[in-house]
Structure 1
Amino acid sequence: MKKLYLLFLFIIFISLTANSVILLLDDYKYNNYSTNSRSPYYELIDVIKAPGDVIDQFHYPQGLALDMDNNLYIADSKNSRIWKFKDDTFESVVFTDVLLPVDLEYSATSGTLFVTDEESHSIIEFYTDGKIEKTIGGTLGYRGSNLSYPSGICLKGNFLFLTDRLADNVKKIDTLNKFSTILDESGKESGQLNEPADIWINSKGWIYITNYGNDRVEIFNPDLYYAGKIGERGINLSQFRGPYGITGDIFDNIFVCDSHNGRVQRFSEDGIASATIGEGILKNPKFCVVNNEGILYVSDVFENKIYVFSPKMFEIGRKYYMDKDFKKAIKFLEYAIKIDKNNLNAYYYLAYSFFELESFKDVIRVQKSLKELSPGSRAYELTNILVKQINKWEDLD
């Protein structure tokens, strides 16, 4: 009996769907930002600027970090200071006891920030009130606790991981400031380092290093064995010219600043390219960071600006729905609603995704939300068909 009802609903769905494929609700208004990016799933939503060396301006912004409240910290390298922005609006200069700040990392455990300082060959841990907790390194060199040009940093557990760009190595630092060089084979062959710029470690402990001089990303497993690479020199998808900053999101997707190609490339956990972001907008992206909602911040050292891109969660969720991958569709559609609670299309596809998985309580929950939000909308009317059918099934049972 349920199968016959499902067939009946499918026929209704086709008759009500524009072009018999995708329903585009007339009463849904979505803000599309003008962008030349080739990515169909990211849009430019904000620009934090401007060039200069006076208050509220940048001069060669590089490293970026986010705290637990999504406040953004920016390493303003050639102005020798660290900025704090709240809701993408300048709040304060939080630190100035630094010569040439490069990368930033926030510690949720201690509430402190770590900054690499290329000119003083050190790493400085400080609080957001400007108080210094400790300084690590400080002596020019290539081995032990000496640093040449400390660049990218990544905090994982109780350890700080650091790329020393001119030393062609990666160091690991414990809570007692003890250094150990974990990767130090210099060269151009696979797994060898040539000006490693930045490092990111995913949730499973896999290590990704942007190998700036070799135009690729090196991958090492948690036991530090070489596991492969992403990319080669070039201008096409999955190719780089000067890969620099690297970061990841909560799904372990990888974002790489492809600096001389003027874009950010996104890869899946297994290294498959899935998007290019900012082409035609970015000039020389240096570092990037992603918040838990998928918002991507990118520093551009040529433009002296921070560009903010948002994933089009609804577009991604709808694509998964049309591909009948309903579990993934639900994940992205719920994010879309979190970003824009008035996205009626997202509620509609979310309800139908739950229906396809026979999660009927969730269908009813979505329908109730639509009733509160827009009871006269087509989204509510069409979702209400599902609820009525669910009620009939319950009566039959």
Structure 2
Amino acid sequence: MDGVIVAGGNGSGNAFNQLSYPLGFSVDEAGTLYIADWNNSRIVEWKQEAKFGTVVAGDNGRGDRNDQFHYVTDVIVDKNRNCLYICDLENKRIVEWSRRGATSGKTIIKGAMCYGFTMDEDGFLYICDFERHEVRKWKIGDTQGTLVAGGKGMGDELDQLNCPVSVAVDQNYSVYVSDQRNHRVVKWIACMDRGKLVAGDGKVGKTLSQLWNPQKILVDQFGTIIIADSGNNRVIRWKKDAKEGTIVVGGRRKDSEEHQLDSPIGLS
């Protein structure tokens, strides 16, 4: 199965038809992409079949002003509030940026070194703190989040995480965490003090029962997890209670061909 380039593809750079190490992205109701263009510290809007993107946030140099970012890692579209939520990694903040032509944003959460996040159907944000090895649930406007995974320091026990980079939430509000440096995905049920291993075996590897630096994850209503298995250059589908996954795309060598992947990171 071949893929189709929908954004970038013109080498690394900061021109309007280029990206430089894109990480997370979201898709709105019209099919427009919003891309966290990490190395350019900006968010790029890319409409369907467009040859060029439009910068909608940042691109004012790296910094900590309200119109700047210092490495963006992920972005969420909130259609109800008509805004973007942006992980500003090195500034350790989450920024809200209006989609009504805003030229600056406002900080809504401080102190979290956010690499990836998600939003549940009630509008709560779940933020992976790469530095504290934990995931917290935040209500917009609150000054303190609620711990939902990890929080007991860096480690490989089931009550610990090691550099969480992505989180997904199912209809029962169970939290799934891409535990990058433990090479696994762990599920945390609400009010439990430890997680359950649901994908990978905790050891780096290339078999279908293993992961290698997993990145973005998604989960559906059946408990199936889709994993950007970055180190293995593949995307894997892992069904509930399965012992191994199935390759969806990639899985061979790093390549620029349309049927191959090179260290995939984002999914949507």
Same fold (TM over 0.5): yes
1:131 Cα offset (Å): 4.7
Q: Which residue is equivalent to 1:231?
A: 200
Q: Which residue is equivalent to 1:61?
A: 22
Q: Which residue is equivalent to 1:173?
A: 138
Q: Is 1:284 matched with 2:263?
A: yes
Q: Which residue is equivalent to 2:45?
A: 84
Rg larger in structure: 1
Cα distance in 2 for partners of 1:126, 1:167 equals 25
- In the TM superposition, what are the counterparts of 1:236-251 in structure 2 within 5 Å? 236-249=207-220
1:231 Cα offset (Å): 0.6
Q: Deviations over 1:36-83 (max 9, x none)?
A: xxxxxxx42335322222222011100110112221111111111111
Q: Deviations over 1:157-186 (max 9, x none)?
A: 131110011211112211223322413123
The aligned amino acid for 2:102 is G
Report which of the two has the higher share of helix. 1
Secondary structure of the residue aligned to 1:78 is helix
Verify the 8 A CA contact 1:62 1:103 in the aligned structure 2.
yes
Report the number of matched residues. Answer: 240
Verify the 8 A CA contact 2:178 2:184 in the aligned structure 1.
yes
- What RMSD in Å do the two structures reach over aligned CA positions? 2.1
Identity of aligned residues (%): 28
Q: Which residue is equivalent to 1:196?
A: 164
Q: Is 1:208 matched with 2:173?
A: no
1:227 Cα offset (Å): 4.7
1:260 Cα offset (Å): 1.1
Cα distance in 1 for partners of 2:6, 2:139 equals 37
Cα distance in 2 for partners of 1:56, 1:130 equals 22
Q: Which residue is equivalent to 1:185?
A: 152
Verify the 8 A CA contact 1:124 1:132 in the aligned structure 2.
no
Q: Is 1:155 matched with 2:126?
A: no
Report which of the two has the higher share of strand. 2
Q: Which has the higher contact order (CA 8 A, sep 6+)?
A: 1
Q: Deviations over 1:228-286 (max 9, x none)?
A: 21112210113111111112356653211111111111122445624332223111111
Cα distance in 2 for partners of 1:135, 1:196 equals 22
Cα distance in 2 for partners of 1:94, 1:252 equals 34
The aligned amino acid for 2:247 is A
Q: Which residue is equivalent to 2:4?
A: 45
Secondary structure of the residue aligned to 2:231 is helix
Cα distance in 1 for partners of 2:106, 2:16 equals 27
User: Aligned pair in 2 of structure 1 residues 217, 81: CA closer, same or farther (>3 Å)?
Assistant: same
Verify the 8 A CA contact 1:245 1:257 in the aligned structure 2.
yes
Unaligned regions of 5+ residues in structure 2, if any? 59-67, 253-259
Q: Which residue is equivalent to 1:111?
A: 82
Verify the 8 A CA contact 1:244 1:259 in the aligned structure 2.
yes
Secondary structure of the residue aligned to 2:86 is strand
User: Aligned pair in 2 of structure 1 residues 131, 170: CA closer, same or farther (>3 Å)?
Assistant: same
1:120 Cα offset (Å): 0.9
Cα distance in 2 for partners of 1:211, 1:175 equals 25
